[in-house]
Structure 1
Amino acid sequence: MTMLTESLDHYLELRHNLGYKLADAGRLLPRFVAWMEANEQPTVTIRHAITWVELQPAQPGSVVWPHRMTAVRGFARYLSGIDPATEVPPIGLFPSKRQWRPPFIFTADNITALMDQAHRTLDSRLPAATYSTLIGLLSVTGLRIGEAIRLDGADIDLTGGVVLIRESKFAKTRNVPLQPSTVAALRAYAAQRDKHLPTPITTSFFVTVGTAPSSVDSKG
């Protein structure tokens, strides 16, 4: 095993332990290291990085080259602490030409309109309450949609006013405090949910009613 191969194994393991999925790095860097070794190059330089990146044909505006260079740059940063001769490619060598669009920021009126729309267009029983309450929770807590729909009843402490988010992004677990008005809204929803589903078949906090009780997403 060469130094580069061993270093790559350590780098990928470190990044994985930090919670990164390494979709690009895990696929691209073994190819880069194999190319370096085939060309008997023990040290990563900017010239080597550019040469390898450009081996893959790419159309104008493609993200292929930027993605490849981003993977190499991260690895080079790690290597620079091992081999001082390592050159870290600067940002901007292969800029992406994709246009960046600013995110749409929902105003309070937008959120109210969404919640009202849920009540107007969905079943007047539980689905409308489920989605309007879910939208409200997202807006006041900043939870990701996946975090919210994965919540079990045991994750929401209506007495203490805290939501427990289990192993979300980067496998982190955290507590999210709730305002009294949010607790009141969740308590009202839970009461309505339990009225319609006195014997639920899922532990999910947010549920809807179809041909059989189910969670908001595929959970349950």
Structure 2
Amino acid sequence: MKLSAAVAMYVTYKRSVGMRFNTEARTLKSFCRALGDIPMTEVRPDEVLAYLAGTGPVTSFWERKHGAISGFYRFAIARGYATRSPLPSHVPKPPLAFVPYIYTRAELRRLLDVASSIDHPRTRIDPQVLRTLLLLLYGAALRISEALSLTMADLDLEQSVLYIRESKFYNTRLVPMGPDLAKALGQFIANRNRRYSCRPESPVFPCRDGSPITVRVAENAFRRVRNRAGVFRHDGARYQPRLHDLRHTAVVHRLIAWYRSGADVQRLLPQLATYLGHVHIAGTQRYLTLTPELLREASLRFERFAMEASHA
């Protein structure tokens, strides 16, 4: 059996059991291109190692490639398409776990101020569109793909609700907005509708020519805003603050506020997971250890609890 045929069968199988499998499918397609459409029996370990190694240092992408190919070969061996795995027996030490950047409130204000004023000739996004996009990513803790997929039909400004359709895990959910965010979005829409199409299928956040904004265009525009605002990492991390970190920041700020107000955070976590569109609560719980400030608030909560228990 040819490599591409076996990969196609594997991807079809994974999707038949309910997995989206887009990232892994792209990785395996790249694997087929690198090795050529050769019989499964002719795949050599040195070719696989060369594909995994790439041209740069070992990163989390090495792990993702290794995981995708490893899963494919387990499938292939179980069905007799291959007799052994050509993957290297030695797996290099993975890089340090990536830690999202949590913006301070002062940094958020600078980003929003710059976004509303920067009008670079190469930027395909109107400044007010970009500013409102950043505001919504933080205010509603959306994924960038979710915000860019919003159409006019997905807005219910009377009820202050966003309809997030077919998100990362095929979920559709309602995202309520606070009064300040709903007011800002309503003002933006009123101005937006004077320039761009109001049809139900039109994107809420269009490029200057009315076409939907892509993730790459948004990330490039944000990079210019971040540089102009002077927001940088100084902790030796490989990546500078990202657009997606606005979502992480929103969650951390909410958790800190809950701790400071005396709220029952553990009881509220399932509600937060639903709001964020997480399939498992573990995806939300990881935020509890994300920043020193959050850990400090949790520690103070525990100390107050311990003191009250000792005097009971």
Shorter-chain TM-score category?
0.5 to 0.7
2:48 counterpart residue number: 53
1:25 counterpart residue number: 28
CA RMSD of aligned residues (A): 4.6
- Give, in whole Å, the separation in 2 of the partners of 1:206 and 1:157: 15
- Give, in whole Å, the separation in 2 of the partners of 1:70 and 1:106: 32
- Contact 1:153/1:204 (<8 A) preserved: yes
1:45 counterpart residue number: none
1:116 counterpart residue number: 113
Say which one has the larger Rg: 1
1:43 counterpart residue number: none
1:154-193 paired onto structure 2 within 5 Å: 154-169=153-168, 171-193=170-192
| Deviation of 1:178 (Å) | 1.9
1:132 counterpart residue number: 131
- Contact 1:155/1:163 (<8 A) preserved: yes
Work out the percentage of aligned pairs sharing the same amino acid. Answer: 26
| Deviation of 1:119 (Å) | 2.9
2:12 counterpart residue number: 13
- Contact 1:151/1:165 (<8 A) preserved: yes
| Deviation of 1:29 (Å) | 7.0
Q: Aligned to 2:20, what secondary structure does the other structure show? A: coil
Q: Aligned to 2:146, what secondary structure does the other structure show? A: helix
Which structure features the higher share of strand residues? 1
- Contact 2:48/2:87 (<8 A) preserved: no
Decide whether aligned partners of structure 1 residues 120 and 68 sit closer, same or farther in structure 2, where only a CA change above 3 A counts: closer
Decide whether aligned partners of structure 1 residues 206 and 66 sit closer, same or farther in structure 2, where only a CA change above 3 A counts: closer
| Deviation of 1:82 (Å) | 7.0
| Deviation of 1:137 (Å) | 0.4
- Contact 1:73/1:89 (<8 A) preserved: no
| Deviation of 1:79 (Å) | 6.3
- Give, in whole Å, the separation in 2 of the partners of 1:102 and 1:108: 19
| Deviation of 1:60 (Å) | 8.0
Residue by residue over 1:132-178, the C-alpha shift from the partner in whole angstroms, topping out at 9 and shown as x without a partner, is: 22111001222232332332111111123221223343554333222
| Deviation of 1:184 (Å) | 1.7
- Give, in whole Å, the separation in 1 of the partners of 2:76 and 2:106: 50
Q: Aligned to 2:210, what secondary structure does the other structure show? A: strand
Q: After the TM superposition, which of the residue ranges 140-149 and 4-13 deviates more from structure 2?
A: 4-13
Q: Aligned to 1:175, what secondary structure does the other structure show? A: strand
Which structure features the higher share of helix residues? 2
- Give, in whole Å, the separation in 1 of the partners of 2:166 and 2:11: 21
Q: After the TM superposition, which of the residue ranges 52-61 and 8-17 deviates more from structure 2?
A: 52-61
| Matched letter for residue 133 of structure 1 | T
1:175-214 paired onto structure 2 within 5 Å: 175-194=174-193, 196-197=194-195, 200=197, 203-207=202-206, 214=210
- Contact 1:122/1:128 (<8 A) preserved: yes
- Give, in whole Å, the separation in 2 of the partners of 1:187 and 1:205: 11
- Give, in whole Å, the separation in 2 of the partners of 1:168 and 1:77: 29
Number of matched pairs? 200
Residue by residue over 1:36-57, the C-alpha shift from the partner in whole angstroms, topping out at 9 and shown as x without a partner, is: 5459xxxxxxxx9x67734768
| Deviation of 1:28 (Å) | 3.4
- Give, in whole Å, the separation in 2 of the partners of 1:119 and 1:5: 48
| Deviation of 1:16 (Å) | 3.4
| Matched letter for residue 167 of structure 1 | E
Q: Aligned to 1:104, what secondary structure does the other structure show? A: coil
- Give, in whole Å, the separation in 2 of the partners of 1:165 and 1:185: 19
Decide whether aligned partners of structure 1 residues 156 and 5 sit closer, same or farther in structure 2, where only a CA change above 3 A counts: closer
- Give, in whole Å, the separation in 2 of the partners of 1:193 and 1:59: 45
Residue by residue over 1:78-108, the C-alpha shift from the partner in whole angstroms, topping out at 9 and shown as x without a partner, is: 468779xx99999983226767653322222
